[in-house]
Amino acid sequence: SRLFIGNLPVNSITKQNMWRIFKQYGDVIQISIKPGYGFCQFRTIEQCNSAIEGEKNVPLYGKIMHLEAS
């Protein structure tokens, strides 16, 4: 299942940073980052939902990520 990650800090976040954050919720298959947003592919929807619950309202470089299954 794919997780949309919005409101990312521009030029501050790397795929490695994102992998470290989201690997605790399950098997991360792929991460892609664009300026201000990105996607994280998990093996299951349950892992994706765990990431949403675990990271909602958690600041990243002073910004709150917008997370939703896509």
Q: What is the pLDDT of residue 16?
A: 95
Q: What is the pLDDT of residue 10?
A: 86
Q: Are 36 and 1 in contact (CB under 8 A)?
A: no
Query: Tokens representing 39?
Result: 């996607």
Phi, psi of 3 (to 5 degrees): -110, 125
Could you list the residue range(s) of the whole structural domain that residue 21 is in?
A: 2-69
Q: Are 13 and 60 in contact (CB under 8 A)?
A: yes
Q: What is the pLDDT of residue 49?
A: 98
Q: What tens-digit pLDDT sequence spans the chain (70 residues)?
A: 999 999 998 888 999 999 999 999 999 999 999 999 999 999 999 999 999 999 999 999 899 999 999 9
CATH of the domain at 37: 3.30.70.330
Query: What's the structural domain count of the chain?
Result: 1
Q: What is the pLDDT of residue 66?
A: 96
Q: Are 29 and 16 in contact (CB under 8 A)?
A: no
